[in-house]
């Protein structure tokens, strides 16, 4: 047992990750807290149905045999995605975690298999499985900011949480859940609240109004709600405003440019795609130009963005006051 824990911890420090083990029961504690918030009306019912119903329905396939959760914090960069436009080459930002969000856990699973010892089992908790921040905070790996995003001292909030349910027995003293902690920096700070373009971070409560968050709309197939300010758009997908404003993130953002560039013809096709985002089979997105757009989106690991990229790019063009096609 000591060997398993030590080899995982050595692997994490070699890889530049942070790691901790926690009791499997933390998942149930996290679910119970969310259900209490649902029952007290703190969570918007539509947001709950769309996001939290599926994540709290997750039950590990390892079942009662599972004894622990292994949680890894992986530092992640933001990405720059470029488009040729009639105003020249323009850059758009995709915040940390979106790109490669599924390949990072796969790679880590490959690396861990073998380290955890003969016969030990590891079950990745996917993006729609379990409450990653809540479990990681109760295990003491991360702290919450008022952004409701979690931080470690080395990475700020630019990290992906990668949890696994395992059947590795952990020592008794590693099992006790900790109360989720806020950053010390939050005590006298309101910078994220002021930076949020949609009022999702409220003065009156810590819990995010997730149904007001720009990301709730721009990573999904919703039409923009009437109240959403046209000036709020600034990323190809996602949002950077509260994380950028946070002093605990100062100097911590890494930027990587993806090699694929969307040609002028592709940018024009994207901007002219007025088919509804929820029309997944739209005939407007067929033909060789869209095949090439699709190939590039697949290659940068954002294939699902096909349905929202036109809507998001038009919103970005308007917010920047430009004309791109």
- Binding residues for ligand B12 restricted to 223-282, rule: CB under 6 A: 238-239, 242
Q: How far is the CB of 248 from ligand SF4 (least distance, A)?
A: 5
Return d(Cα 314, Cα 132) in angstroms, integer: 33
By beta-carbon proximity to ligand B12, the closer residue of 84 and 197 is 197
Would you call 99 exposed, middle or buried from its count of C-beta atoms within 10 A (0-12, 13-18, 19+)? buried
> In which residue are the tokens 């590693």 written?
174
Residue 210 contacts residue 47 (beta carbons within 8 Å): yes
Q: Is 138 in the site for ligand B12 (CB under 6 A)?
A: no
What CA–CA distances, in Å, run from 260 to 67, 83, 104, 106, 175?
43, 9, 20, 23, 46
C-beta separation of 119 from 1 below 8 A: no
Choose one: 4-12, 39-47, 101-109, 188-196; the region binding ligand SF4 (CB under 6 A).
Answer: 188-196
Rounded Cα distance, 133 and 196, in Å: 20
Q: Biggest alpha carbon distance in the chain?
A: 63
**Nearer residue to ligand B12 within complex by CB, 11 or 216:** 216
In the complex, the smallest distance separating the C-beta of residue 93 from ligand SF4, rounded to whole angstroms, is 12
CB of 83 to ligand SF4, least distance (A): 22
Residues of this chain that bind ligand B12 (CB under 6 A): 33-34, 37, 51-52, 55, 95, 97, 127, 130-134, 144, 147-150, 157, 159-161, 180-182, 206-208, 210, 213, 215-216, 219, 238-239, 242
Residues of this chain that bind ligand SF4 (CB under 6 A): 145-147, 183, 185-186, 189-192, 195-198, 200-201, 208, 213-215, 239, 241-242, 245-248
């Amino acid at each position: 047992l000591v060997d398993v824990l030590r080899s995982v911890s050595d692997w994490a420090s070699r890889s530049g990750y942070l790691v901790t083990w926690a009791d499997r029961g933390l998942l149930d504690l996290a679910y119970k807290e969310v259900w209490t918030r649902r029952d007290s009306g703190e969570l918007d019912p539509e947001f709950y149905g769309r996001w939290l119903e599926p994540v709290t329905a997750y039950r590990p396939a390892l079942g009662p045999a599972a004894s622990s959760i292994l949680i890894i914090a992986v530092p992640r960069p933001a990405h720059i995605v470029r488009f040729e436009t009639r105003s020249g080459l323009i850059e758009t930002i995709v915040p940390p975690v979106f790109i490669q969000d599924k390949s990072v856990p796969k790679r880590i699973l490959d690396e861990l298999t073998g380290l955890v010892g003969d016969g030990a089992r590891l079950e990745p908790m996917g993006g729609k499985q379990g409450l990653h921040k809540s479990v990681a905070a109760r295990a003491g790996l991360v702290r919450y900011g008022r952004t409701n995003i979690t931080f470690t001292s080395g990475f700020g909030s630019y990290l992906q949480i990668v949890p696994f349910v395992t059947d590795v027995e952990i020592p008794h003293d590693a099992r006790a859940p900790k109360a989720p902690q806020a950053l010390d920096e939050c005590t006298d700070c309101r910078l994220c609240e002021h930076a949020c373009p949609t009022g999702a971070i409220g003065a009156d409560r810590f819990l995010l109004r997730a149904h007001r968050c720009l990301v709730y709309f721009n990573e999904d197939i919703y039409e923009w709600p009437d109240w959403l300010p046209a000036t709020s758009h600034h990323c190809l997908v996602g949002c950077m405003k509260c994380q950028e404003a946070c002093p605990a993130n100062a100097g911590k953002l890494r930027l990587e440019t993806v090699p694929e560039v969307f040609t002028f013809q592709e940018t024009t096709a994207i901007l002219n795609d007025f088919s509804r985002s929820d029309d997944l089979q739209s005939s407007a997105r067929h033909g060789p130009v869209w095949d090439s757009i699709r190939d590039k989106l697949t290659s940068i690991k954002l294939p699902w963005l096909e349905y929202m990229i036109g809507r998001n790019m038009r919103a970005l063009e308007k917010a920047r006051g430009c004309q791109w096609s």
